Structure 1
Amino acid sequence: MHWRLASDICAAVIEFAKTGRGNVQRTAIGASRRIRIWIDGAAADVRVDVETRTFHVLRVYKTPRAG
């Protein structure tokens, strides 16, 4: 993954952590504490720990670019 794309997905995770805004969805019905944060070209699977109010980034990967 190019460092600029990695930087953009990292910034998207941080922005969601700070503001709750972003392109976010749950990853599965049974995984209520797992979310996926998307940007054009990459995504991050994140586990939300409600008790400690932390995110654990489980995986970052490239996705097809739009258009």
Structure 2
Amino acid sequence: MLTIPLQAAGAIAFLFGLVSLIVHLAIILWVYSDAQSRSDQPAFLWAIVAFLAPLLGLVLYLLLGRK
């Protein structure tokens, strides 16, 4: 049976959280910058939607927000 020491599990959880945070911020920044050039609605509103619900906000922006 494979066992993982608690210290390694904590490091894995930290790295997962860090990667999740980076992906979340990347989605927000991409939606904001793309909405500035390709959307009729205000870009900051799409950034707020992406902040509150990153994956759902991205899908909604791609379906509804772009010209």
TM-score normalised over the length of structure 1: 0.33
TM-score normalised over the length of structure 2: 0.33
Greater CA radius of gyration, 1 or 2? 2
Whose helix proportion is higher, 1 or 2? 2
